[in-house]
Amino acid sequence: MYTLSNVKDISSDFKTADIKSNDGVATTGVGIGRKAKDGTIQFQTFDAFVDGYQMEGNLWRSPSTGKQYLYPIREPKPATGAYTRSGGAITKAQEKKAEDIETAQNRKKDAIALAGAFRDATLISLASYRDIPFPTDEEFKAEWIKWVRWILSKNEEPFI
């Protein structure tokens, strides 16, 4: 609750006043407008704002100018659109993100398995030719592919 003093009419739709809150905090030069930016009347009792008038409101300081203004207390609006829990854009985006993360994790698992199979197949293929003359490219490739397929077929089995 604020008590107005030193009320000055700046125009038919704007006044300045010094205000004092119930807890004793005083603020000078506070702007009070009859209408909101969209043209709607925000203070129905605007013409009654004189010295000694008591009213409730929200005090706001403009970050760009540093001036203070008094606005009426408004009822909170229910959340709509993107901010609702069911069917809002944020909810849908979060569900899509969860699906994308799961897909990426599955792909990462497959990529790790494939890279490991390539590495292991290369090592096994090289080791299998250590005591004999090195094969041709086609023979080595066939041996390597055989081991890659075998390793990937055993991918889900525990390694003991």
Give the amino acid at 39. Answer: G
Residues 113-157: pLDDT tens digits? 889 999 999 999 889 888 888 888 998 999 999 999 999 888 777
d(CA 117, CA 123): 10
The token pair at 107 is 């792909």
What pLDDT is attached to residue 82? 55
Q: How high is the mean pLDDT of the chain?
A: 86
Give the least confident one: 32-36, 40-44, 101-105, 154-158: 154-158
Burial of 135 (0-12, 13-18, 19+ CB in 10 A): middle
Say if residue 51's pLDDT is above 80.
yes
What pTM, to 2 d.p., does this model score? 0.46
Nearest to 56 by CA among 38, 74, 68, 40: 74
